[in-house]
Amino acid sequence: MEYEPAKDRYFGKMQYKYCGNSGLLLPRISLGLWHNFGDVDDFGIATDMVKYAFDNGITHFDLANNYGPSPGSAEINFGKILKNNFQGYRDEMIISSKAGHEMWAGPYGDGSSRKNLMASIDQSLRRTGLEYFDIFYSHRYDGVTPVEETIQALIDIVKRGKALYAGISKYPPEKARIAYQMLKDNGVPCLINQSRYSMFDREVENGTLALADEFGAGFIAFSPLAQGILTNKYLHGIPEDSRAAKSTGFLKKDQVTEDKIVIARQLNEIAQRRGQTLAQMALAWVLKDERVTSVIVGASSVKQLSDNLKTVENLEFTDDEVNQISSLISSIKP
């Protein structure tokens, strides 16, 4: 049966926020395809999640060239989903991708060189079947490539029409400042900065958020649920079937510490009093900062995505809640 998007997808289901000083609105919740959209995953479930997201006002879909596994397969699968279901709806979507982490063998398949970025965006466009990306990021500062080389590649990518906007991800503040200034000076202002941010990882509060705001860039948070620690999954320890137990992902068993579990339980009590799940409150906490445009959520099922979307029903915190939560998360050991 041919998919037809919900006619009421823009009527009260999602909130949107302008990205920095730009005229581009992003949904407060974006869908990330880091996990669960690769060739090892169920394509039917992946398709259902993208459809459900779009039906409920999520217009932003976040990719990278190496997402999968296997690397590249998330872009391939997303391209198939678009072709099979979203013909005629491309202009209602913000689709982003990135390059900078290891993708193919040899000396040119990793890092932030001009060679890597230029080859990567062409490959990503072929995999997705797109003519352009709405946002294309330098996925990281690699510690070797001069920032000027990387940013010139982004400028050229935008000016050649391969992307509408440029973004940076995981840049240390001193390198981000160089990137912001160079993009601004060349008439391609940085649209957005993507970095890790959650109640349990607040490093971006030490300069990254302020710098994005100074240059009029938006900010989008990834891993806002601390890869699942800020959900109900680990409240009673580490489940045997979890990624942490199997060490199959980036979350390792030794990262799910007892002090984090104890604090998560206390945070969960506050969330319950707010009428939210712990995950919903954790997402709302990140979004309460005016400098944050959107959060990227990953999902393994429509139900999980549906639960996350309920976050926008309550984004406000009382002073007492802010004080209680701040006191708890400030005690977390690095």
CATH of the domain at 286: 3.20.20.100
Domain membership flag for residue 255 = yes
Kindly report the pTM of this predicted structure: 0.94
Number of structural domains (the chain) is: 1
Instruction: Flag whether 213 is in a domain.
Output: yes
In the block, residue with structure tokens 């000076």 = 185
Q: pLDDT value at position 257? A: 81
- Does residue 35 lie within any of the structural domains? yes
Q: Is residue 52, in this structure, part of any structural domain at all?
A: yes
Does 133 reside within a domain? Answer: yes
pLDDT of residue 10: 96
Rounded-to-integer distance, Cα 130 and Cα 326, Å: 43
Q: How far apart are the first and last CA of the chain?
A: 51
Block residue for tokens 């701040």: 326
What residues make up the domain containing 165? 16-329
- For tokens 């979507």, the residue is 93
The predicted pLDDT at position 235 comes to 85
For the CA atoms of 278, 283, 285, 286, the dihedral, rounded to the nearest 10 degrees, stands at 150
Q: Is the peptide bond prior to 69 cis by the omega test (within 30 degrees of 0)?
A: yes
Amino acid 168: pLDDT: 98
Spans of the chain, pLDDT less than 70: 237-255, 333-334
107 in any annotated domain:
yes
Domain assignment present for residue 8? The answer is no
- Distance, CA of 55 to CA of 67 (rounded, Å): 24
